[in-house]
Structure formats: C-alpha cells, structure tokens
Amino acid sequence: MLGDGVIVSSYQPNDAKKKAIDVILSFPEEKRNIEVLKNMKLPAEDGNLSLEGMINLKPKNKLDRIERTDGQLSRTVSARVETGTLPNAVADKLRGFIKNNNDFKDVKIKFMGDQQDQKESGDFLVKAFAVAIFIILIILVTQFNSFFSALLVLSAVVMATAGGLIGLLIMGLPFSIVMGGIAMIALAGVIVSNNIIFIDTFDQLKETGKAF
C-alpha cells in the first residue's frame, strides 16, 4: 500500500458500456516513503515491535523492463474503443492531438494493431487495383484492337468508383479500406463486363449500318 496501492474491489457505473472502476486502497501520498515503513509496528508477545528492528531496509532502484521496437527504445500504449465507435475516427483525433501538442515533437509515434493491419491491407489493395486495371487495359486493347474503346471502358470504371464514394458520402457511411476496397474492385469487374457487351454490340450494329 506504500506504492501504487492494492485493488480491494471494483465499481460498475450505471452505464453498462463503461468498464468497471477499480477501488484501490493505499496510504496518503505524504506517507508513502521508507521512513513510514521502518516505523511500522508489528504485534509480538512482548508488545509491538518496529519493522526496522527486525529487518534491514535498503532503498534500491526498481529494475524496469526495457522495451525496444526495431532496435529503438519504445513504450506501448493500448486501448479499446467503445461499441459503435470507429477506430479510424479515434485514431484521427489522436493524430490531430499529437500534431498540435509540442510535448510530442521529439517522439516518434506509430499506430499498430488494427491501424497497421488496415494500412498494410490498403497498400496491397491499391497495388492490386493498379495491376488489375493494367491487365484489363491490355485485354481490352487486344479484344477491340482500339485504344479508344479500351479507354472508354476504363472511364466507366473511374466514374463508377467516384459514384460509389459519393454515395457513401451522401449516406454518411464510413469508408473501410479493406471492405470498401474489395467492393470497388468487384464493382470495377462488373462495370468492365457490362461495357464490353455494350461496346461489342455497338460495333456490330455499326458494321451492319444500324448504329444510332
């Protein structure tokens, strides 16, 4: 109890979403020193004896564990968000707070966990989307033998992607890098398939003289 205290119970607030609060028993701050420990009385047959008369007390520095990440001294701070709260929104607020606080100017802060996983997944999806578009372009040019027709199909992909993002914005829905990115790639596949049919039909009608 001379240190951080002892957890003796816990209190659960009325809001069930909040975590239980620990009830800690400890000495007043002004009495948390070695002198109080030395003068502590222990019951014995001849009366109360001071702790100092029974043991030898020597203050020493506490050996703490040194954490390193990629060879650099580090500290890990972890937290969970409340149900219904987006981790990305909380992380953005933390980034804004850190950026505007001079106390952290010499500290390198790195978000890990879900944030790191989303960043890695997002980077992979961006590369995969770029490769997919390039392959689609080659296939379209080979099929139509025309750069104009191929670019016309890809322009529909760009407009469909923009429309999807605008739809999320209007509906007030969050954009998930993983799920949203996969959905955009799937949408691009559907758009390309439909436009191939449209352009191929148009070219056939044009050859027969029935095009508009």
- pLDDT digits over 105-118, tens only? 778 887 776 666 77
Listed in sequence order, the DSSP H helices in the chain are 34-38, 87-99, 114-144, 147-171, 177-207
Q: Which of 69, 78, 71, 74 is nearest to 113 (CA)?
A: 78
| Highest-pLDDT range among 54-68, 88-102, 114-128 | 88-102
Find the domain containing 165 and state its range: 114-207
Q: Is residue 149 over pLDDT 80?
A: yes
Q: What pLDDT shows up at residue 135?
A: 86
Q: 30: pLDDT confidence band, cut at 50, 70 and 90?
A: confident
Q: Are residues 150 and 193 in the same domain?
A: yes
Q: Say yes or no: 149 and 95 in one domain.
A: no
Question: Residue 157 contacts by C-beta under 8 Å, 6 or more apart in sequence?
Answer: 133, 188, 191, 192
Q: Is 164 inside a domain boundary?
A: yes
pLDDT exceeds cutoff 60 at 211: no
Angle at 161 between CA 181 and CA 83, to 5 degrees: 45
Per-residue pLDDT band at 62 (split at 50, 70, 90): low
Q: Is residue 179 situated within a structural domain?
A: yes
Which amino acid type is present at position 104?
F
Query: 131 with 172, same domain?
Result: yes
Residues 104 and 130 grouped into a single domain: no
Regarding whether 78 and 119 lie in a shared domain, the answer is no
Please state, rounded to an integer, the average pLDDT across all residues of the chain.
Answer: 77
Structure confidence by residue, pLDDT tens digits, 70-100: 777 787 777 777 777 777 778 788 888 888 8
- Clarify whether residues 194 and 146 are in a common domain: yes
Q: How many structural domains does the chain have? A: 2
